[in-house]
Amino acid sequence: MIRRHVRILLGIVIVAIIILATLLLWPRPVSAPHQAPPIPEPAAVATPSPPTAEPDLILDLFEPTPASLDAQQQATILRNQIEHALVVTFLLTRCTYVSQQEYSDTYNAIIQYAARSGLSPDIASAAAEVHRLSSSAGASYSLVYSRVPCTDPSLPPSLASLRQWRDQSARTVKPSSTIP
């Protein structure tokens, strides 16, 4: 009986060796060698021209003048006002104090305000700036102001203030105008 098991085991080993030898010695198709990509030509290096900025502008970066600091401060104040107006508008729209049309009118008034107040040189760049600020305002709204209940007593005065600002901004824009 043991002889029979040894024969079977020996037969299995022989078949395994034959299969392994066949797999190792079986001819395989030869693949073409991979071609290396061509060496890129070096790009022509343009010699930079000397800066055309006035020396005063460069000095303002390191030692700003009171005028440049004042301009930066005014731009920051305008951006904060616009962002605040957008947050208030988001809140009032969610609570249905403001219709979609009124929201759109307010958004366009904010763009006009940004252009007229000197934050941006033209309407297109003002629209881009307000769009960027609306992303920031949306983050503030979702983190903090989205939890304000629609029954909050400060909402009707905020609505009145926003409408008053929007109507005033449609007529004229003064640098001292304040946004709710």
Contact 116, 173 (CB under 8 A): yes
Assigned token pair, 172: 């004229």
Contact 120, 65 (CB under 8 A): no
DSSP letters of 83-145?
HHHHHHHHHHHHTTSS-HHHHHHHHHHHHHHHHHTTSSSSHHHHHHHHHHHHHHHHHHHHHTG
pLDDT at 42: 44
Q: What is the pLDDT along the chain (180 residues), one digit of tens a residue?
A: 677 777 777 778 787 777 766 766 666 654 444 444 454 444 454 555 555 555 555 555 566 667 766 778 888 888 998 898 888 888 888 888 988 888 888 888 888 888 888 888 888 888 888 888 888 888 888 888 888 898 999 999 999 998 888 888 766 544 444 444
Shortest CA distance to 166 belongs to which of 120, 119, 118, 98? Answer: 98
pTM recorded for the entire structure: 0.59
pLDDT at 47: 53
pLDDT at 25: 67
pLDDT at 102: 87
Contact 140, 90 (CB under 8 A): no
Contact 140, 60 (CB under 8 A): no
**Using CA atoms, how far apart are residues 117 and 111, in angstroms rounded to an integer?**
10
Shortest CA distance to 132 belongs to which of 110, 116, 158? Answer: 110
**Using CA atoms, how far apart are residues 105 and 139, in angstroms rounded to an integer?**
22
